[in-house]
Amino acid sequence: MQSIILVDDEEQFRGRLARAFSNRGYTVFEAEDVDGALEKIKENKPDWALVDLKMPGKSGLDLIREAKEFLPFLKIVVLTGYGSIATATEAVKLGAHSYLPKPADVDDILNSFEKDSDLPGVPEHNEFEAPSLARAEWEHIQRVLNDCDNNITAAAHKLGIHRRTLQRKLYKYAPKK
């Protein structure tokens, strides 16, 4: 029986995923932060880890780094709402098997875990599709806005654009690719 640890600070989302994995026959462990996840990984030695990137305190990248030192063949999929090329690259360099943007359902997550790579714990490099320029701009704006605690004026100042221009961009939907 496969075991998985779900590491996400959103309790409701983590609980929903835990039920879905349990219903599919997986042994599920849960943690809301990096320190709790490391304790459970050392204690239970799961086969897989689903890790949120942004959490209070240490980030998912810190967890990947520390977990891989303790359990080198742990298969890790990073799941985040703040996806970017830079964080995806960093996660892969640290040993993540795959990188998925939120929202992702259990089938997407299972497909990511079950994808084979040439070596254990090393992801396929040809599977990453570069986002469009519009998508990259949208992600950058969202990241800066998040860093500014959703203060539009502060984010516009950091981005070097007028506040109203930023507001117009935010009213548009996120690009599909």
* Domain contains 177: no
Residues 48-65: pLDDT tens digits? 988 888 877 888 888 888
Question: Does residue 103 share a domain with residue 74?
Answer: yes
* Mean pLDDT computed over 72-101: 80
Helix (H, G, I), strand (E, B) or coil at 146: helix
128 alpha-carbon distance from chain centroid: 15
**Whether residue 95 has pLDDT greater than 80:** yes
Residues 116-162: pLDDT tens digits? 644 344 444 445 566 677 777 887 888 888 888 889 999 999 999 99
- Asked if residue 36 lies in contact with residue 125, where contact means CB atoms within 8 angstroms, the answer is no
Question: Does residue 89 share a domain with residue 163?
Answer: no
Question: Does residue 118 share a domain with residue 72?
Answer: yes
User: Residue 135: which of 78, 83, 80, 99 has the closest Cα?
Assistant: 83
Give the pairing type, strands 98-101 and 48-52.
unpaired
- The count of structural domains within the chain is 2
More confident residue, 128 or 77: 77
